[in-house]
Structure 1
Amino acid sequence: MKTHQHAMVITPLSLAAALTLASGQLSAELKTQTMEYQVNGTTFTGYMAYDDETEGKRPGVLVVHEWWGHNEFAREQAERLAEAGYTAFALDMYGSGKLAEHPEDAQAFMKEATKDMDQVKARFMAAKELLQAHDTVDSSMIAAQGYCFGGAVVLNMARLGVDLDAVVSYHGALGSPIKAEPGNVKPRIHVYTGGADKMVPSDQVSGLVKEMQDAEADLTLVNFPGVLHSFTNPGADKVAEEFNMPIAYNEEAANRSWEGTMRLYQEVFSN
C-alpha cells in the first residue's frame, strides 16, 4: 500500500507524548490505550487495542463508531480485532466528550461532524496516521470498518480514494453526494445490510451496486432478509424500546458479517 499524503497535520500532542494509558491490560496479552489527539484545534479521544505478545508488526484496522459517538460498543469491536491478531484503533469523529444518549443529540453530533467532507476526511486521516505510527502496526496494511454512521464514513473514504486495503460497512448508509470514480477506489469493499432496514432502503442498495460497478470497484454486498438496522449491536433492542426506533440486534447476521470480515482481512493481508 502506498503512503497517502494529505494536508492534515497532527499536533505533537497526538503522538507518543500524548498517550494516556487507560486500562492497561485486559488479559495476559491484550492491551489497550486511550489516546487523545488533535485535529484543527479540536481534541478527540480514541482507543487502541492490541495483543502485546504477538511478535512483529501486524495489520491495523480503524473502527468508526455509530451515530451515538465513540462508545463502549466501538471499543469492544477494537478489542475483538486485537484478539483476532490485529492492532485496532476505535477513532472519534465527534470530539472528546461528545457521546449521545438521545437520538436528537446523536443527530446533532452527526450533522456537525459531516457538515463538509474535508472535515470528515481530516478526522479520519488523523486517526489513520496514529494507527500507522503505532509500534505494532505494519503501516502498509490498513483496513477500516464502520457501523451505521461509521459505515457511511468508511465508504466515503473509499470513494475519495483513501489508501486502504479493505473497507467494511455494517448497516451503514449507502447513498452519498460523493460518487466513486473508475480507478479511484483502492480497497476491497464489503457491505453488510439488513433487508428490512428502513434507514437503508433498497434504492440505496441498488444505487451502491451500480455506482461501484461503474467505478470498477471490488464490492461484495450481503443482504440479510428481514433484518433491521443496527443488527450487530446487542444493545439495539433496548434502544429500540426506549426510543421507538426500527432497530434490532440479530445474532446470525452479526456473526455472519463478522466471519465474512475476518475472511476478507485474511485474504487482503496475506497477499
Structure 2
Amino acid sequence: MKLKLLYTFLIGLLVVSCTSTSNKEEASDAVIDVMVPMVEGKETTYSTDSTVMIGYLAFDANDSSKRPGVIVVHEWWGHNEYSRQRADMLAELGYVALAVDMYGDGKQAAHPGEAGEFAGMVMGNFDEAKARFEAAIETLKNHPNVDDDKIAAIGYCFGGSVVLSMANSGYDLDAVAAFHAGLQLPVMPDSGTVKGRVLIAQGAEDPFIADQHISDFKAAMDAAGANYEYIEYEGAVHAFTSKGADSLGAKFNLPLAYNAAADSASWEKMKVLLSDAFMSN
C-alpha cells in the first residue's frame, strides 16, 4: 500500500513538472512573439503642388502604439535601397521611418555627374526643397502609429546636408543626425532656430570636407546656441556608413570607402541621440 501511494505521488510530481515546464515554454514563446519586431515596409507616394515623390515607409507591424517618427534622407545617388535599409533598421528600433525622395519621381543618379546635378537642383532652389521636406513630414505624421509631437530626421551625404539645413531653417525636429554630410549649407542657423539636438558624424579623413568648412560650421552653430555634437572617426573617409561605397569608389575613381567600425559607432551614437531627445520631449 505504501509503495502504491509513493508511486502515485511520484507520478503526480512528474505530471506537475511537465505541465509547469510546458507552461513556461509557452509563456516564453509568447514573450518572444511580442518582443520580436515584424518590420513592414511599403512604397508610398506623396507630393507637393509641383512634384510627385516616391518614398518608403517602414514600421513594426507588431506594435500598434503611437511612437516617434524619423525622416531618412538619401545620399546624392537618390532614393535607393540603401535609404530603405536604414528605414527598416529604424523600424526595428521601434520608430516609424520614412525614407524620402528629395529628387522627385523616384529619380536615381547613374553616375556622379548626374548625382551632382540632381543635388544641385535641390539645394539651389531651397524653397522647393523645403516644400518637399514638409510634404514628407506631413506624410509621416499622418501615419496612424506616429506621435506627431516626436519627429526627427537623419541623412547621409547630400541627405545629411539636407537635414542640417532644415534644422537651421527652424523646423520643429527633436533630433537631427547627419552622416558624412557636406557643411557648406544653403541656410546657416540664427540664434534659436535649431530646435532640437544635432549629431554630425564625419570621417576624419574625408577629402571633401575642408578644415575651413568645419571651423565655419562650428562657429555658426556656436553663435546660434545650437545643441550639437561634432564627431570625427579616425581612418574614415567619405560614405563610411555605406557598404556599397567601396565598389562605387572603384567604379568612379572617387575617395569613398566603407568603414565598419565608424558605421557601427556612429549608429550607436544616433540611437542614444534619438532616445534621449524623444524621452525629454
TM-score by length of 1: 0.88
Residues 1:49 and 2:58 are matched in the alignment:
yes
Residues 1:81 and 2:81 are matched in the alignment:
no
Q: Secondary structure at the match of 2:124?
A: coil
Deviations 1:212-237, CA, capped at 9 Å, x for gaps? 11000001010112310000000000
Q: Secondary structure at the match of 1:207?
A: helix
Q: Secondary structure at the match of 1:128?
A: helix
The residue aligned with 2:225 is 216
> What is the aligned-residue identity percentage?
43
Q: Give the deviation of 1:175 after TM superposition.
A: 1.8
Q: How many residue pairs are counted as aligned between the two chains?
A: 245
Q: Secondary structure at the match of 1:114?
A: helix
Greater alpha carbon shift after TM alignment, 252-261 vs 49-58: 49-58
Once residues 42 and 165 of structure 1 are traced to their aligned partners in structure 2, the CA distance between those partners, rounded to angstroms, is: 27
Residues 1:171 and 2:208 are matched in the alignment:
no
Once residues 46 and 86 of structure 2 are traced to their aligned partners in structure 1, the CA distance between those partners, rounded to angstroms, is: 20
Once residues 37 and 173 of structure 2 are traced to their aligned partners in structure 1, the CA distance between those partners, rounded to angstroms, is: 31
Once residues 125 and 97 of structure 1 are traced to their aligned partners in structure 2, the CA distance between those partners, rounded to angstroms, is: 17
Correspondences of 1:186-201 after superposition (within 5 Å): 186-201=195-210
Q: 1:30 aligns with which of 22, 28, 39?
A: 39
Q: Give the deviation of 1:115 after TM superposition.
A: 2.2
Correspondences of 1:131-146 after superposition (within 5 Å): 131-146=140-155
Q: 2:273 aligns with which of 264, 267, 271?
A: 264
Deviations 1:39-90, CA, capped at 9 Å, x for gaps? 1222110000000111410000000000000000000000000001100000
Q: 1:78 to 1:67 in 2, by over 3 A?
A: same
Once residues 44 and 161 of structure 1 are traced to their aligned partners in structure 2, the CA distance between those partners, rounded to angstroms, is: 23
Q: Secondary structure at the match of 2:53?
A: strand
Q: Secondary structure at the match of 1:60?
A: strand
Amino acid paired to 2:158: F
Once residues 134 and 208 of structure 2 are traced to their aligned partners in structure 1, the CA distance between those partners, rounded to angstroms, is: 27
Once residues 83 and 28 of structure 1 are traced to their aligned partners in structure 2, the CA distance between those partners, rounded to angstroms, is: 6
The residue aligned with 1:181 is 190
The residue aligned with 1:118 is 127
The residue aligned with 1:39 is 48
Q: Which has the larger radius of gyration?
A: 2
- Computed over aligned residues only, the root mean square deviation of the Cα atoms, in angstroms, reads 1.2
Greater alpha carbon shift after TM alignment, 109-118 vs 53-62: 109-118
Amino acid paired to 2:148: S
Q: 2:80 aligns with which of 63, 71, 76?
A: 71
Kept after mapping to 1: 8 A contact 2:74/2:99: yes
Instruction: Compare the two structures and name the one with the higher strand fraction.
Output: 1
Q: Give the deviation of 1:179 after TM superposition.
A: 2.0
Once residues 118 and 162 of structure 1 are traced to their aligned partners in structure 2, the CA distance between those partners, rounded to angstroms, is: 13
Once residues 106 and 152 of structure 2 are traced to their aligned partners in structure 1, the CA distance between those partners, rounded to angstroms, is: 26
Once residues 79 and 204 of structure 1 are traced to their aligned partners in structure 2, the CA distance between those partners, rounded to angstroms, is: 32
Kept after mapping to 1: 8 A contact 2:58/2:96: yes
Greater alpha carbon shift after TM alignment, 37-46 vs 130-139: 37-46
Once residues 75 and 258 of structure 1 are traced to their aligned partners in structure 2, the CA distance between those partners, rounded to angstroms, is: 15
Residues 1:106 and 2:115 are matched in the alignment:
yes
Once residues 72 and 221 of structure 1 are traced to their aligned partners in structure 2, the CA distance between those partners, rounded to angstroms, is: 27
Q: 2:239 aligns with which of 222, 230, 250?
A: 230
Once residues 45 and 221 of structure 2 are traced to their aligned partners in structure 1, the CA distance between those partners, rounded to angstroms, is: 35
Once residues 30 and 177 of structure 1 are traced to their aligned partners in structure 2, the CA distance between those partners, rounded to angstroms, is: 35
Residues 1:91 and 2:100 are matched in the alignment:
yes
Q: Give the deviation of 1:177 after TM superposition.
A: 3.7
Once residues 177 and 31 of structure 1 are traced to their aligned partners in structure 2, the CA distance between those partners, rounded to angstroms, is: 35
Kept after mapping to 1: 8 A contact 2:196/2:277: no
Structure 1: unaligned runs, 5 residues or longer: 1-26
Q: Give the deviation of 1:114 after TM superposition.
A: 2.1
Instruction: Compare the two structures and name the one with the higher helix fraction.
Output: 2
Once residues 204 and 197 of structure 1 are traced to their aligned partners in structure 2, the CA distance between those partners, rounded to angstroms, is: 12
